[in-house]
Chains A and B, each alone.
Chain A
Amino acid sequence: MKHCDPEEISLLALGETPSPDDAVHLLTCDECRHRWEDLCRIVDTARELHDDELLAPPPHIWAAIAEEIAEPSTVTALPARSARRWAPWIAVAAAVGVLLGGVVGVALTRPTTPATTVVASAALDPLEDYATSGAATVEVVDGAERLAVNVSDLPQTDGYFEVWLLAPDASSMIAVGTLGAGSSSSFPLPPGVSLADYPVVDISLEAYDGDPTHSAISVARGTLPA
């Protein structure tokens, strides 16, 4: 027994008229009739759809979810000494950074390499006396989140550059890693870190002084989109 052409069954489900052979076959062949009935249900459902069938939830829902799932902060308290030293300055700089740091893009962009999905990115803009700029990207690489940083025009230094994630008001921060000799580095993000709590990517100039806290000298900064 010759089955109906699947293309013909699709057309019949849409309401086109069957050939006499197809009509007879559909009556006698369970396999073809089953396919036809499935497609008829899909066509009927599709024809009932309203223009507003698929709507995104109102924007405040994500904020409520993000608040509910926020995990306890993983940041260790900073020594009071250094907090006193740089906090006011850095808070002002953070505000400037928010103004300067143009948001490049949100959401999914096409993967750059097969296993990489970019979930957020931000431009890094120079601060104060520096010319350093570039971009920071949050990527999912083989299921793990990473922060990729790419900068140019780093100042000459005897020290080194460190990458941080800051709270919007710079009241707390997480050291992500040390920028290598090149201008590009990628760091694993600490599991459970909330980018809603630490959206500001900051690059600091550090001296080899053994002090693990932020030097209060930032060369570039940008804010990841919420």
Chain B
Amino acid sequence: MKGLFPVLYRDYVMRTTSPLWLFFDLVVPVMYLLMFGVGFNSALGLGIELEGRSLSYNEFFLAGVISMACFGLAMNQSYGFFVDRDSGIFYETLTYPITRGEFLLGKIIFQCILAVIQTALSLAAAAWILGVNIPSSSLVYLGVGILIVTSGWFFTFASLAFLMRRTDTFNTVINVAYFVLMFVSSMFYPIDRLPSAFRVLSYANPVTWHTDVFRWALTGVGSTESALVQAAAFFIFSLIAFRVALWALSRAVE
């Protein structure tokens, strides 16, 4: 496990020598929460009726923001992989005296640390600025969920970065994935009132699964059984993504 530390050190140096990157990594979801949330909550006066509960838009959106933190970080990391492969440093790193497992695990741990910081900032902003009640019982679920969700999306996007060769193809796929996966989900709005085709796609979207679990933990909306099923589904999705990422990593050097 000694090989983890240089991976963490490298990402730490990368971030701390680029304040803009650090800002983007840490603050973007909070900005979404404050600007998007406040905008919908105040300007449009939206309240959300969900499974017999009435939530303010900020209460509803907070789970989406935490999902966005995990999802967005994994996507940024995949850009990092792509740039590293383009510059050749990715291949050189694979000749360093660390295992492939330490390399991937180090990357995941760093992303998880950032995701936890992002979530903490989002929760603090939600509680202190927007007045959202954060039940302390939700924190354990959020903590475990953040680790699994960040890892699952990390494996997914890393696979794309390992397998795709052309920058334009990669950029297009990532941008379309970002747009579709975030907006065809329960991240920004409840999906039960959407057109049926849209609703089916949203239910099949892993972003919906973990957003609903985070929302259940934060607001109590939804049944425990449903949250468990969705959590299990995302866990299986992560395991499959892990297998694919290992395969893609071995393909990347061929």
A, B: real partners: no
Give me the interface of A with B, judged by CB distance under 8 Å.
Answer: none
Give me the interface of B with A, judged by CB distance under 8 Å.
Answer: none
